[in-house]
Structure 1
Amino acid sequence: MGDYRHARDIPDIDFLAAVEEAIRRRPNIPATRWDVERVLGGLESDPTFTVVGDVPGVPSKVVLAKARRLIRRGLLDGCECGCRGDFLVTARGVELLRPSAEIVI
């Protein structure tokens, strides 16, 4: 699905949606960086974490760089050091994901 070479190649909305999808797939825990990589790569979840290594087209370093940018902008919470990540979309990030409820007539 993805062919991401730089953080800028992943649209903010796609990354935030991937975090929310990862959480939906494994409720009650924040999204790990591996979960987000799999969603962005179009792969099923791996609840046992038996799959190790980069998802084709979705390098870990690119995912971490994108997460770092979104955390700095207040759209994502989590750790950017390279550990699990434990990502959650912030209220500000949710606003960006949700279309405006206002209807202009």
Structure 2
Amino acid sequence: ETMADVRYEIDRIDRLLVEILAERQSFMDAAARIKPDRSKVHDATRIEDVVTKVKAACEGAGLSPAIAEPVWRTLIDRCIAYEFGSYDARRGGGDVNS
């Protein structure tokens, strides 16, 4: 009804997104632990697969692909950077990204 109501709901959703992204990040740590070779961290085929699946999910959810695709490409890019840091930290090559 009001802008305060709208902002409250946006803030609520943002808190949920933070929780979901933290869960996603935990799987970057798992991937870094499992992958036997650093060269496997960046997988162009997997990136396009993820983006394709997200765009397909947009249709049923009513999310504009013009919003989703750049958001997911940025998310994937940052997750890969995080995974490189996690991979290196596990093998004595540096700290996990913050």
TM interval, short-chain normalised: 0.3 to 0.5
Q: Give the structure with higher Rg (CA).
A: 2
Greater helix share, structure number? 2
Normalising by structure 2, we get a TM-score of 0.33
